[in-house]
Structure 1
Amino acid sequence: MRTEIYEHFHPDERDYVDRASEWISHAGAYHEQKLTDFLDPRQLYILETLASKEDKVTIRVDGGYEASERKRALIAPDYSYLDEENMGIQVLSVTSDDHKMNTLEHGDYLGAILGLGIKRGKIGDIHVLDDGCHVLVASEISDFITMHLQQVHRVHVWTELLPPENLRTKDVALEPLDLTVASLRLDGIASDVYKLSRSKILTPIRAGRCRVNWKVEENPSTSLKAGDVISMQGFGRFKLLETDGVTKKGRFRVKIGKFI
Structure 2
Amino acid sequence: VGFLDAHGARLAAETARRGRFSNCLLWGGYADAERVMFGAFPAFLRPAGEKFPVAALTAAYRPQERLTHRDFLGALLAAGIERAALGDILAGTGRCVFFCRREIAGFLCSEVTKIGGAGVRISAGAEPPYPERRFAPFSGVIASARLDCAVAAAVGTSREKAAKMIRARLVELNHEPAQAPDAGVAEGDVLSVRGQGRFAIDRLGPRTKKGRLGVAGRKYMG
Task: Work out whether 1:148 is the aligned partner of 2:111.
Answer: yes
Question: 2:140 — aligned with what?
Answer: 179
List per-residue Cα deviations over 1:225-245 (Å, max 9, x = no partner).
Answer: 000010111001111101122
1:207 alignment partner, one of 140, 164, 168: 168
Question: 1:17 — aligned with what?
Answer: none
CA contact (8 A) 2:139 2:154 kept: no
CA contact (8 A) 1:175 1:258 kept: yes
CA contact (8 A) 1:62 1:71 kept: yes
Task: Work out whether 1:136 is the aligned partner of 2:99.
Answer: yes
Unaligned runs of 5+ in 2: none
Structure 1 residue 129, shift from structure 2 partner: 1.9
Structure number with larger C-alpha Rg: 1
Describe the shift of the 1:211–1:78 C-alpha distance in structure 2 as closer, same or farther (beyond 3 A): farther
Alignment of 1:162-177 (within 5 A): 162=125, 166-177=127-138
What fraction of aligned residue pairs are identical, expressed as a percent? Answer: 27
List per-residue Cα deviations over 1:162-188 (Å, max 9, x = no partner).
Answer: 1x6x34422222222221100111111
Q: Counterpart of 1:250 in structure 2: which amino acid?
A: G
**Matched residue count:** 221
RMSD, matched Cα: 1.9
1:43 alignment partner, one of 8, 14, 29: 8
Structure 1 residue 246, shift from structure 2 partner: 0.7
CA contact (8 A) 1:184 1:225 kept: yes
Unaligned runs of 5+ in 1: 1-35
List per-residue Cα deviations over 1:5-31 (Å, max 9, x = no partner).
Answer: xxxxxxxxxxxxxxxxxxxxxxxxxxx
Q: Counterpart of 1:239 in structure 2: which amino acid?
A: A
Q: Which has the higher contact order (CA 8 A, sep 6+)?
A: 2
Q: Counterpart of 2:184 in structure 1: which amino acid?
A: S
TM-score, reference length from structure 2: 0.91
Structure 1 residue 58, shift from structure 2 partner: 2.4
2:37 alignment partner, one of 56, 59, 72: 72
Question: 2:155 — aligned with what?
Answer: 194
- Relative to its length, the structure with more helix (as a share) is 1
Question: 2:68 — aligned with what?
Answer: 105
For 1:60 and 1:221, the matched residues in 2 are separated by 36
Describe the shift of the 1:243–1:57 C-alpha distance in structure 2 as closer, same or farther (beyond 3 A): closer
For 1:194 and 1:46, the matched residues in 2 are separated by 28
Q: Counterpart of 1:134 in structure 2: which amino acid?
A: V
Question: 2:206 — aligned with what?
Answer: 245
